[in-house]
Structure 1
Amino acid sequence: MGVGMQIVYLGFAGSRTLEGEAGAQLVRLERYSAILSAVRLAIEAMGMMGPQTMYDARLDLLLLSRADRYRPVARCSHANVQEAVRRAFDVAECELRTIAACARR
């Protein structure tokens, strides 16, 4: 059984391409399935910043441990929605690496 993911779009309609990108990024977190049960991804169109719309991607990690079961991860913003999602998963991967290292101690 793998890590589950819920995606919420705010202020714009999602797309299969974006869902595919999020799914591909989720694969990176599968190696942490011993401590991670699911992720919640929220992607929000933040409005126009100059000539472009900015997108904000936020991940919440649902951990298997007793303490800190729900852990929000830092927000990542970018004019390219896929880049915002990739950056959010980068931050989540670093966070999970730290949690896993602490669990081994």
Structure 2
Amino acid sequence: MGIGMQIVYLGFPGAAQLEAEAGAQLVRLARFEALLSNCHLAIEALRPDRSSLLYDVRLDLITPAHEFKPIAHCAGDNAEAAIRGAFDLAEQELETIAARARTH
């Protein structure tokens, strides 16, 4: 069936390269399909000092039981790197959940 993902862009129109990066990162989570049914990814462009651009990336995981698990924000001046950071954190969280499930 696969893991679904919804992406929302805030403060900018989005870009195909960011959607491709998010899709590539989602593949990393496929092994956790039993724990995860959907992801919500928000990529927000911020201008904290009115000159430079900062991207804030938020990833929320949705379990098959429709439970919501937010992942810590990742931010930086490179949106693709921030996306990778969010999926790194998600992968760590899912590995922890899977390990706990194996010991119980």
Q: Secondary structure at the match of 1:43?
A: strand
| TM superposition shift of 1:52 | 2.4
Partner residue in 2 for 1:74: 72
Q: Say whether residues 1:22 and 2:51 are aligned partners.
A: no
How is 1:1-105 mapped onto 2 (pairs within 5 angstroms)? 1-49=1-49, 51-65=51-65, 69-105=67-103
Once residues 84 and 13 of structure 1 are traced to their aligned partners in structure 2, the CA distance between those partners, rounded to angstroms, is 17
Once residues 37 and 26 of structure 1 are traced to their aligned partners in structure 2, the CA distance between those partners, rounded to angstroms, is 11
| Structure with more strand by fraction | 1
Identity of aligned residues (%): 55
**TM-score with structure 2 setting the length:** 0.93
Q: Secondary structure at the match of 1:36?
A: coil
> Number of paired residues?
103
Q: Is the 8 A contact 1:35 1:65 kept in 2?
A: no
Once residues 86 and 51 of structure 1 are traced to their aligned partners in structure 2, the CA distance between those partners, rounded to angstroms, is 24
Once the two structures are superposed, residues 37-88 of structure 1 have per-residue CA deviations (whole angstroms, 9 ceiling, x without a partner) of 010000001214575200000000001247xx11000000010011110100
- Regions of 4+ moved over 4 Å: 48-51
Once residues 103 and 47 of structure 1 are traced to their aligned partners in structure 2, the CA distance between those partners, rounded to angstroms, is 42
